[in-house]
Structure 1
Amino acid sequence: MIKSELVQIIAGRNPHLYQRDVETIVNAIFDEITQALCEGNRVELRGFGAFSVKNRPPRAGRNPRTGQAVNVEEKWVPFFRTGKELRERLNDG
């Protein structure tokens, strides 16, 4: 599912809302999650899961094409851990 499909589904389930308003709401939610992660905060959506940021330290890597050693810089990556309710729904159905 892509974001535009999500907006269409939500707008379809809530006919009293305009699609452009639903799109604004979805964008605002994603922007807030992104902003919180950029600040190093954790975002938890009960029953769904938790978003956090993990640090990947610098390391020596290899260029897969040439096999030459390269230095991979430190980076921060987003991480998602599923919630208990989501795992149960996936495994029951």
Structure 2
Amino acid sequence: MKNKSDLVDLVSRRIEFLKKEDIDKGISEILVYISSTLSKGKRVEIRGFGSLSLRPRSSRIGRNPKTGTSIVINKKYHPYFRASKSLKRKLNS
């Protein structure tokens, strides 16, 4: 699976009574919910799969590769996924 449309195709083959358009809308809504929840600084947990949260990257000194001058890279947040115990067991069995 490479992208969202591949996921839509996979789900539509497994759940034949749903239209592809409805599956696409459902997946889009899930992604919007996850994005908006993370942007509020909250954690998203999907039981049996894992949780998504934000982790801070502290500010640091970087270097412009063209000029070699030092620049300050401000503090940023990046998404972090932690797999559930049951997912880890499935992957390692």
Is the structural similarity TM-score above 0.5? Answer: yes
| Aligned position for 1:52 | 53
SS in structure 1 at match of 2:77: strand
SS in structure 2 at match of 1:85: helix
Residue-by-residue CA offset, 1:31-87 (whole Å, 9 max, x unaligned):
000010011110001111100011212111233455432211111111111111111
Alpha-carbon distance in 2 for matches of 1:7, 1:76 = 29
| Aligned position for 2:11 | 10
Runs of 5+ consecutive residues of structure 2 not aligned to the other structure: none
| Aligned position for 1:69 | 70
- The TM-score with structure 2 as length reference comes to 0.89
Runs of 5+ consecutive residues of structure 1 not aligned to the other structure: none
My pick for the range that moved more, 61-70 or 1-10, is: 61-70
SS in structure 1 at match of 2:92: helix
| Aligned position for 1:88 | 89
Report the number of matched residues.
Answer: 92
| Aligned position for 2:42 | 41
Identity, in percent, stands at: 39
- Structural RMSD (CA): 1.3
SS in structure 1 at match of 2:10: helix
Shift in CA distance, 65/89, structure 1 to aligned 2, threshold 3 Å? farther
